[in-house]
Structure 1
């Protein structure tokens, strides 16, 4: 809804005031983690830096927000059941951007997939559960190493 409102209210993304963009991005990034204290100060600023400013802000809208549409994923979503390679899906149980049901649907659609849901984690799993995610990824790569 945040980005739809901005798309609907501003014909030219460059006209969105920098302060409004900064506030929206800060709010959205704080939603990306379950442990809200993780997305503050220096970490938050490091995520905001490439998304704000005279280059980052227009680039974000032109190359990301402008493409927030299911039409870009629906064509290959139909092909997911045809995948025949190992797929691991990692999902935060408290993801505020994309609900867990999306992960469950991916698992149903990709026959060769496994789904790992992390409790007390949001969309940015690498922030909420870095050690558990790293261990899961290493295990997956080791299981499917095809030297």
Structure 2
């Protein structure tokens, strides 16, 4: 077992289902019923993990339904709709600033989500961009 999983277990008292490390941040996927327990009161566990692993930490809940997983991944954003097209999920967010947050600088956040979706659900996601904003 590697140091990342050991640190997660030591701090949260539980095991992640999976994790994805892009060098700057780590996404831990945990049982969807216990996301709050893993995050800790006031985000305490996330802060401790971030300090211990020297990376930004994100925690998302695993659910059978990929839509629920995407909502957990983007829990602080206001998603208006998620549309399934084959194995692709189109995430619609009305607020322009929140759409930018969903993608992340240089696409880091959507890339991290897509790594997890591909491995866990054999699916992908993209953030819907309204036509009028694409023409700027």
TM-score by length of structure 1 reads 0.25
Q: Max radius of gyration: which structure?
A: 1
TM-score by length of structure 2 reads 0.26
Instruction: Kindly indicate whether structure 1 or structure 2 has the higher relative contact order, using CA contacts under 8 Å at least 6 residues apart.
Output: 1
Higher helix content, 1 or 2: 1
